[in-house]
Amino acid sequence: MEFGFGAEDEVFRGEARGWLEAHIGGDPARSGWERELGRDGWIGLGWSEGGYGNRRASLTQQVVWAEEYARAKAPPRSGHIGENLLAPTLIAHGTDEQKARFLPPVARGEELWCQGYSEPGAGSDLAGIRTTAVWDTGGGRGKRDGPGGSYRLTGQKIWTSLAHEADWCFVLARTRPESTRHHGLTFLLVPMDQPGRIEVRPIRQLTGTSEFNEVFFDGAVARAEHVVGGEGNGWRVAMSLLGYERGVSMLAQQIGFAEELGRVVEAAVANGTAADPVVRDLLVRQWAELRTMRWNALRTLGGSGDGQGAAGAPSVAKLLWGRWHQRLGELAVRVRGAGAAVGPADWSTASPYELDAFQHLFLFSRADTIYGGSDEIQRTIIAERVLGLPKEPRGQGG
């Protein structure tokens, strides 16, 4: 199928806006939107191997699609974890059977995924995870790469985005009891529909919403049959996945940032705070830094720079946009002035309490320098892997 833009893109814009209008004030039914995208062939762009995706697309076309999707203010995606993280990982490390089983439902928007990495004692330091998985043949003679047995999972994951909606979770677990750090880890595919075996508890955030969750695996009954990349090779697979996490989607993220900055500028002009030279300088700084982040992202995608620089590119990008977004939230509140302390509804009666866009931006962005790898961890990665500085001393337990 040929990949085209133009009139077709305008049709998509209209469909996206119409869908938003139809669902405003109610449940956004994001899983339904995923199926709409899959039906029209907009999931799995560029999955050339095996024909599992819907359309062939060059890297440039994938960037254009991601940016136009953001510009159209289309509904938020709930399938991005399966499409942008799991799928390229399976294409690189999965068996033919795993690709045939899991990629088509993702491309159709029918199965949603979440990521089981972080734990209460192993957030940014992923190598310290304690969730365990023990192979159990169930009395049969099952092999780890075939039917007849499964792993029994014991442990807890935290900050698991969209776990309350997901059908599957890819989980990093320790399958060798005496192993430490990045040794003895395995990448497992776990079905979330295991009542009484897997418990999902939403975490209420400062914004009043609960996109993140705690996930508990009961070792007596929680099961996983599918291993990606072989037992004990989970660290290699997990690091490969993290390389996909900050690719094309970063440019789309910056389109959203530009929209937010534009609203802050409009508010500053409307209420007169733009006349304040300090505020004006801050607005210009945000604009200039956003342009710099875009150029850096394009340079990285283009493959320029030496190997060492490329190794630290995701960490540099995370440091840049995390702090930038926090400063934008602070600037939005500053532009609003005293009115930023007043909600759009009576906070004493509203449940959950309501926030306007600037208040939500300010509160949610406080987490930007923590999730996805804290700033401290990103600086350590740059220091050790790019600059070659001595490694930080770490205890055996993590």
CA torsion 220-223-224-230 (nearest 10°) is 20
| One-letter amino acid of 204 | R
CA 219, 222, 225, 230 dihedral sign is: negative
Annotated active-site residue 10? The verdict is no
Question: Quick check: 52 and 96 in contact, CB under 8 A?
Answer: no
371 φψ region: left (φ > 0), alpha (ψ -120 to 50), beta (else): beta
Q: How far apart (Å, rounded) are the C-alpha atoms in residues 68 and 76?
A: 13
| One-letter amino acid of 87 | A
Write down the residue that tokens 């399976």 correspond to.
90
Tell me which DSSP letter residue 85 carries: I
CA torsion 186-381-159-65 (nearest 10°) is -90
Question: Quick check: 156 and 214 in contact, CB under 8 A?
Answer: yes
Q: How far apart (Å, rounded) are the C-alpha atoms in residues 298 and 247?
A: 10
Token pair belonging to 357: 């866009």
Q: Which residues partner with 156 through β-bridges?
A: 216
Q: By C-alpha distance, which of 11, 65, 225, 71 is closest to 138?
A: 225
Phi/psi of residue 113, nearest 5 degrees:
-125, 155
Catalytic, out of 245, 330, 354, 384? 245
Chain-centre distance of CA 37, in angstroms?
19
Q: How far apart (Å, rounded) are the C-alpha atoms in residues 396 and 398?
A: 6
Token pair belonging to 207: 């914004």
Q: How far apart (Å, rounded) are the C-alpha atoms in residues 124 and 385?
A: 16
Say how many Å lie between the first and final Cα of the chain, rounded: 49
Q: How far apart (Å, rounded) are the C-alpha atoms in residues 115 and 126?
A: 13
Catalytic residue positions, numbered? 245
